[in-house]
């Protein structure tokens, strides 16, 4: 029997999972999350979400959503849904922890 992890909440403070690093491959012009035996290439939006919402210096996901909403001049509710879904997916794949 498998259990489904709950979605990440705006009050959470996700950080990179142990052994996972955010790296820039300058030769290829790509940012990626690198972990033991795995690699995830980030597109521009995923990179923005990771930078705004993941890390020890981040207040919480809500602050990151607010920042992204202003930066991209987009409705907060739309940004929030996309960000929470992306962070939950990254957590479920083992790239971030809460």
Q: Please report the pLDDT score of residue 86 as a whole number.
A: 96
Q: What share of the chain is helix, strand, coil (3-state, %, to 5)?
A: 40, 20, 40
Tell me the sheet residues that pair with 38: 35
pTM recorded for the entire structure: 0.89
pLDDT lower than 50: segments of the chain? 1
> What's the pLDDT at 6?
83
Superfamily of domain 15-97: Coenzyme PQQ synthesis protein D (PqqD) (1.10.10.1150)
d(CA 14, CA 72): 22
pLDDT of residue 4: 60
């Amino acid at each position: 029997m498998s259990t489904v992890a709950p979605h990440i909440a705006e009050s959470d403070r996700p950080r990179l999972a142990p052994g996972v690093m955010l790296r820039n491959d300058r030769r290829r012009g790509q940012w990626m999350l690198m972990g033991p035996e795995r690699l995830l290439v980030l597109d521009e939006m995923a990179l923005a979400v990771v930078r705004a919402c993941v890390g020890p210096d981040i207040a919480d996901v809500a602050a990151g959503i607010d920042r992204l909403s202003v930066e991209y001049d987009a409705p907060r509710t739309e940004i929030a849904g996309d960000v929470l879904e992306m962070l939950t997916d990254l957590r479920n794949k083992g790239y971030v922890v809460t």
